[in-house]
Structure 1
Amino acid sequence: MNFHSDTGFLPLTPHIHPWVKDLLKKKEVLAKRIKEEDSPINIHSLEPFVENIQSFQKVFQKYELNHCIYFARKANKCISLAKKAFDYGQGVDTASFRELKQCLDAGIPAKALLVTAAVKNRKLLELAVENQVTVVIDNRDEYQLLNHIAQEMQKEVTVVIRVSGFILNQKLLHSRFGFSMNEAQDLIEELHRQDGLLKYIGLHFHLNGYAVDERVAAIEQCIELIDRLQNEGIMTYSLDIGGGFLVNYLKDHSQWEAFQSELKLAVQGQRSPLTYQNDSLGIIKTAIGIQGEPLVYPYSNANYRELFLDRILKSDSEIFHKPIHKLIKQRNLELRIEPGRSLVDQAGVTVAAVVFRKWDTSGELLIGLEMNRSQLRSSSADFLLDPIHICLKSDDKKQKTCYGFLVGEYCLEQELILKRKLKFEKFPEVGDLIVFPNTAGYMMHFFESEAHQFKLAENLFYDRKEEILRSDREILSKSLT
């Protein structure tokens, strides 16, 4: 590991897709667009999005499984991505009224859409029933409201029942979502007896975390319920295992291991800080030492994306003593997944301009960007990838390596774009650009805010063939013509 204890920096080198490498050469194009849009800008490419769809498809084809990939639109709000998913024969998972309405307005048919919103109000359910979009039912109140709306409109709507309460190693997997297995069975039997406008077609679950054994346990316990229902003459046509397919952001796993171990030493004061004011990123420091792990996404993974799905499908069921893929195929189920982050892996970057350089009262170099922290934020305590510095000028007097922090526009002491100390091969100049790689999944849109009346970042798409940047709206219009 190339590390100097006095710098407080450890590299976390990201994977960079070829389209991004090509984009980075267009300095003048980027600088011009940044100026036009008042910085920052989110730049996307449909190229890796399609590659990721195809990588999942290959796994399903390997096991000869009926399937559908529903793009979890909440991961990124660009409608062009949703439309591209449909163009490639897949679906879209929507989590709000506006997400669903935009998909319908974009010409995506109801049969390719799914409503999984955590809170489904009357307005959303009315839109779903009017267009006969499949709804994932999470609770009794939701069921009663949906049934009432279907009766009012006299329209059939297919429903999927969300289940939870799975058992692994004699322990309950906690979730605030879904019905218990017994409650789900009762509801499905009720729907069957009533033979009304709500038509049961399948089960759904979404687990928090990334444990393969938990996914396997959930699938086999769903299969048990599916078999019980079939014995009563109730057919199940689909099993939706949700999303949460890991992404591998980093090129070198050893860098990830080094950062985690060195961060713990820094929190204990046993080395120079790696973060601003020695932020622990969620590690708890006590009188007897430290507890817990950093509250961050696992940015380095050997089993990611389609490899993660493959591991689940080839795992053996302890209940049925067969691989998971055989259980699904033998019952002729359509296996559904709802990837978000993993479908937009490598599909977007965020670019912002440098507006100032200064030193704080502790002597730390601060590089001010024309963006705010909500424009690069998810549930992870920090985005642990090295950004890319694009120098627009050449000044030999300031070509010296330096270390510092990226700060944003909000009037808060804690307004850090990234909490980690970074290395710059050249001293940043006002007007230089900072590119954050692989931000399309949950980073650029999930928590973005217009506080201080700052406008939201413009969403653009890069066409490598034409070497041009187009807006999300222009890409959609082009796909409709």
Structure 2
Amino acid sequence: MVNAIPSLLGFSEKNGQWFAEGISLRKLTQDFGTPLYVYSKEAICSAYRAYDSACIRPDGTRRARIHYAMKANSNLAVLDELKQLGAGFDLVSGGELARALHIGADPKSLVFAGVGKSSAEIENALRVGVKCINVESIPELQRINAIAKTMNLRAPISLRVNPDVDANTHPYISTGLKDNKFGIAYYEVLKTYREAALLPQIDVIGIDCHIGSQITSTSPYLDALDKVLDLITQLQREGIKIHHLDLGGGLGIDYGGESPPNITEFTNTLLNRVEERGFCHLEVLLEPGRSLVGNAGILLTQVEYLKTGVDKNFCIVNAAMNDLMRPTLYEAYHAIVPIHVSQAKPNCYDVVGPVCESGDWLGKDRVLAVNEGDILAILSAGAYGFVMASNYNTRGRAAEVMVDGNEAYLVRQRETPESLYENERTINQASALK
């Protein structure tokens, strides 16, 4: 397979060498080592502005607000740049809430989603005063009401609707079908809103829908949107007022062959449908993640060995499935390119890592001209890359760097073996429970 190279902003090839904005990738590996995640500030800001421009009417009034889905990439530097641009945040854990507060995000810019929130997470979200908690089940609604009662607070909530719409994406990242674990079934939503409106500690303020990730067509969004707008119409008839409409995220990116909608056109299409149906009064929330950061990041890795086999040739690199899980988990495609021209003869390789698993691969059947010691760039790794990394095989997670023009900033240090077991104790070192 010849690599299908995605359209990238912030990363470019010039005269046989690859650059991140104004810095050569070779220099970054010399300064920071490998494996190394590299993010382009320019690419992140450009993607955000594409969304934001579609959220502003010609008269300057705002049609929608952007809440970044931080599960895609929660590095503090990424969050801080988006906060400075005006983004709010979509959270799915107490840890993500802590990260958002750490970079100074306004609690009223935070929407807390997630299908399995603990009591401690709900209590903390209410204590700090998040904008909204997206409720994913009837038991969760009851729990939020009970916790709010003990805290003598009112809980602002939105119900997440499961519209039973096929997003035509990988089944592991489809969230809007009736057999998915997410949200409240469409046929139960009206009944649940009626119950929520009667609970003493609950303030119903919104409605939420998210149908999946890496979606490359607008039509599933419109199908889901129409179903949600029908619900709002019925709720209004019953006197249940909805203040905001949360349309979620999930817009796909070009990994090397996909043709997702243009961000601005996509956003305009959804917002125009909302207005055409007479809901201009609603505050609309959009929650992009992958489409903001996916093509703004790459993973650099060094070729350790070139191994010739009977049926396969293997390019063994020092990055692995613990660094980038997507190929193993989803059989996802990432383009892989040498960062400089080599005199080596092109050959077809499976690009694999050193982890002791047959599933440890980063790319299959790639035609590459490389020698041992060369550096490869795994493209489109800015979303669901580092955030899904693990320490399997006691491997430290990669360093992370953000490039801004001609400057590179180390925004997360590489983990050492010692840092991985510093909180562990042998039984002789540990204190027995009493």
User: TM-score, length-normalised on structure 2?
Assistant: 0.82
Alignment partner of 1:339: what SS?
coil
Q: Aligned letter for 1:241? A: L
- Quickly say closer, same or farther: Cα 1:375–1:325, change in 2 above 3 A: farther
In the alignment, is the contact (CA less than 8 A) between 2:68 and 2:287 conserved in 1? yes
- Quickly say closer, same or farther: Cα 1:418–1:226, change in 2 above 3 A: same
Post-superposition CA distance 1:192-223 (Å, at most 9, x none): 334x3321111001113635333223222222
Cα deviation, residue 433, structure 1: 1.1
Q: Using the alignment, how far apart are the partners of 1:342 and 1:359 within structure 2?
A: 38
Q: Using the alignment, how far apart are the partners of 1:82 and 1:449 within structure 2?
A: 21
Q: Using the alignment, how far apart are the partners of 1:469 and 1:165 within structure 2?
A: 43
| Match of residue 344 from structure 1 | 293
Instruction: Mark the runs of 5 or more structure 2 residues left unpaired by the alignment.
Output: 13-17, 167-175, 414-434
Q: Aligned letter for 2:69? A: A
| Match of residue 44 from structure 2 | 49
| Match of residue 453 from structure 1 | 394
Cα deviation, residue 313, structure 1: 4.1
In the alignment, structure 1 residue 325 sits paired with structure 2 residue 295: no
Post-superposition CA distance 1:175-200 (Å, at most 9, x none): 43222345322332233334x33211
Q: Structure 2 residue aligned with 1:382, among 331, 335, 338? A: 331
| Match of residue 14 from structure 1 | 6
Cα deviation, residue 27, structure 1: 1.7
- Quickly say closer, same or farther: Cα 1:309–1:415, change in 2 above 3 A: same
- Quickly say closer, same or farther: Cα 1:26–1:76, change in 2 above 3 A: closer
In the alignment, is the contact (CA less than 8 A) between 2:206 and 2:245 conserved in 1? yes
In the alignment, structure 1 residue 310 sits paired with structure 2 residue 251: no
Q: Using the alignment, how far apart are the partners of 2:28 and 2:72 within structure 1?
A: 27
Alignment partner of 1:163: what SS?
strand
Which structure 2 residues correspond to residues 162-201 of structure 1 after superposition, within 5 A? 162-166=160-164, 173-174=177-178, 175-194=180-199, 196-201=200-205
Q: Using the alignment, how far apart are the partners of 2:335 and 2:184 within structure 1?
A: 42
Q: Using the alignment, how far apart are the partners of 1:307 and 1:472 within structure 2?
A: 35
Q: Using the alignment, how far apart are the partners of 1:26 and 1:186 within structure 2?
A: 56
In the alignment, is the contact (CA less than 8 A) between 1:203 and 1:236 conserved in 2? yes
Q: Using the alignment, how far apart are the partners of 1:93 and 1:469 within structure 2?
A: 26
| Match of residue 365 from structure 1 | 313
- Quickly say closer, same or farther: Cα 1:412–1:231, change in 2 above 3 A: closer
In the alignment, is the contact (CA less than 8 A) between 2:29 and 2:36 conserved in 1? no
- Quickly say closer, same or farther: Cα 1:231–1:361, change in 2 above 3 A: same
Q: Structure 2 residue aligned with 1:463, among 400, 404, 425? A: 404
Cα deviation, residue 29, structure 1: 3.5
| Match of residue 283 from structure 1 | none
Q: Structure 2 residue aligned with 1:233, among 234, 239, 252? A: 239
| Match of residue 260 from structure 1 | none
Q: Using the alignment, how far apart are the partners of 1:105 and 1:234 within structure 2?
A: 35
In the alignment, is the contact (CA less than 8 A) between 2:322 and 2:392 conserved in 1? no
In the alignment, is the contact (CA less than 8 A) between 1:162 and 1:179 conserved in 2? yes
Q: Structure 1 residue aligned with 2:100, among 100, 103, 121? A: 103
In the alignment, is the contact (CA less than 8 A) between 1:41 and 1:457 conserved in 2? yes
Q: Aligned letter for 1:402? A: N
Q: Using the alignment, how far apart are the partners of 1:218 and 1:227 within structure 2?
A: 15
Alignment partner of 1:342: what SS?
helix
Cα deviation, residue 305, structure 1: 3.0
Alignment partner of 1:462: what SS?
strand
In the alignment, is the contact (CA less than 8 A) between 2:25 and 2:339 conserved in 1? no
Q: Using the alignment, how far apart are the partners of 1:112 and 1:206 within structure 2?
A: 18
Q: Using the alignment, how far apart are the partners of 1:227 and 1:157 within structure 2?
A: 23
Alignment partner of 1:22: what SS?
strand
Q: Aligned letter for 2:152? A: Q
Instruction: Mark the runs of 5 or more structure 1 residues left unpaired by the alignment.
Output: 1-8, 251-255, 257-299, 315-322, 474-481
Cα deviation, residue 440, structure 1: 0.6
| Match of residue 229 from structure 2 | 223
Q: Aligned letter for 1:334? A: E
Q: Structure 1 residue aligned with 2:358, among 404, 413, 424? A: 413
Alignment partner of 1:422: what SS?
strand
| Match of residue 29 from structure 2 | 30
Q: Using the alignment, how far apart are the partners of 2:26 and 2:230 within structure 1?
A: 57
Cα deviation, residue 436, structure 1: 1.1
| Match of residue 159 from structure 1 | 157
Q: Using the alignment, how far apart are the partners of 1:328 and 1:73 within structure 2?
A: 31
Q: Using the alignment, how far apart are the partners of 1:409 and 1:301 within structure 2?
A: 33
- Quickly say closer, same or farther: Cα 1:313–1:341, change in 2 above 3 A: same
Alignment partner of 2:387: what SS?
coil
Cα deviation, residue 235, structure 1: 1.4
Q: Using the alignment, how far apart are the partners of 2:142 and 2:221 within structure 1?
A: 29
Q: Using the alignment, how far apart are the partners of 2:191 and 2:25 within structure 1?
A: 60
Alignment partner of 2:304: what SS?
strand
Structure 1 window deviating more from structure 2 (180-189 vs 197-206): it is 180-189
In the alignment, is the contact (CA less than 8 A) between 2:63 and 2:271 conserved in 1? no
Cα deviation, residue 173, structure 1: 4.8
- The alignment yields a C-alpha RMSD, in angstroms, of 2.6
Cα deviation, residue 104, structure 1: 1.3
Q: Aligned letter for 2:275? A: H
Q: Using the alignment, how far apart are the partners of 2:91 and 2:146 within structure 1?
A: 21
Q: Using the alignment, how far apart are the partners of 1:130 and 1:158 within structure 2?
A: 12
Q: Using the alignment, how far apart are the partners of 1:165 and 1:142 within structure 2?
A: 19
In the alignment, is the contact (CA less than 8 A) between 2:77 and 2:411 conserved in 1? no
Q: Using the alignment, how far apart are the partners of 1:173 and 1:416 within structure 2?
A: 30
- Quickly say closer, same or farther: Cα 1:405–1:328, change in 2 above 3 A: farther
User: TM-score, length-normalised on structure 1?
Assistant: 0.74
- Quickly say closer, same or farther: Cα 1:413–1:89, change in 2 above 3 A: closer
| Match of residue 441 from structure 1 | 383
Q: Using the alignment, how far apart are the partners of 1:191 and 1:224 within structure 2?
A: 19
| Match of residue 211 from structure 2 | 207
